[in-house]
Amino acid sequence: MDLWSAALLGLVQALTEFLPVSSSGHLVLGQALLGVTPTGGAAFEVAVHFGTLLSVLLLFRAEVIELTGALLRALRAPGQIGARWGQDPALRLLGAIAVGCLPAGVIGVLFKDELEAAFGSVTLVGGALIFTGLVLLSTRLAPDGDGAVTLKRGVLIGWAQALAILPGISRSGSTIAAGLFLGVERDSAARYSFLLSLPVVAGATLLKAKDLAEAPPASDLMVALGVGAGVSFVAGLGALWLVMAVVRRGWFRHFGWYCLAAGITTLIAA
């Protein structure tokens, strides 16, 4: 893979990671159009996801600091978690993120090889994009909620995230849609969706790092991975700011039309 292709795919990742149009699906399509197949399976896909993970850490640094503080307090005095639960919103959000990550973590570990193979199917991506489009359009029926993310809601949203491991199913689209249907306030649903991605993407990156350590890729691929991650980080900052504005203004469902068109076009061209 040349550096231009790595940069372009990193840009595609950043622009589609936070918008509800499936970054993984667009990566598969972008690789097919460019005629590149990154060495090391999903290594490049994980690398550019890592770049966008860093952009989430930077933009939501205040929330991350609060969550880290809640985690440290819980570790220092685990016996007081019950007493603090009702008075510490950061602790409750941390708990919701923890239970929300479980479904994707279990599915990712149990079906690691099958999921990596799915990234080679353009037809699967086309069908999954159509599914994503229908989910997004259906959010027009979601009630105007004002609730917070609870443990129960976190688990249910977590299963939506687990489904989005498949390329073509938007992670942000499925999790935000689940939050809206569960009555979570719009801005809170979007913020939870992005914070929920941090442990999952970090875990996937660590798993891939282990594989790369056992079978290191060629040096030229490492450079491409770095370029892709860097571009996805910079562009991800702008894309993340944009999607938060889109969600707040209630334009979220309109991305469903794009996903339908992209999915149908993909199936016709496949």
**Residues 6 or more apart in contact with residue 47 via CB below 8 angstroms:** 225, 226, 228, 229
Torsion of CA 87, 89, 93, 96, to 10 degrees: 30
Read off the pLDDT of each residue in 129-135 and give the average, rounded to a whole number: 96
Q: How many domains does the chain have?
A: 1
For 133-152, what is the mean pLDDT?
91
Q: Are 143 and 189 in contact (CB under 8 A)?
A: no
Residue 154, classified by CB atoms within 10 Å of its CB into exposed (0-12), middle (13-18) or buried (19+), is buried
- Residues 25-66: tens digit of each pLDDT: 777 777 677 666 554 445 676 777 788 889 999 999 999 999
pLDDT 10s digits, 70-85: 999 999 988 888 888 9
Stated pTM of the model: 0.84
The domain in which residue 75 lies consists of 3-269
Summarised one tens digit per residue, pLDDT across range 195-206 is 998 887 787 677
Residue-wise pLDDT for 84-130, tens only, equals 898 899 999 999 999 999 998 888 888 877 887 777 788 898 999 99
Query: Cα–Cα distance between 207 and 200 in angstroms, integer?
Result: 11
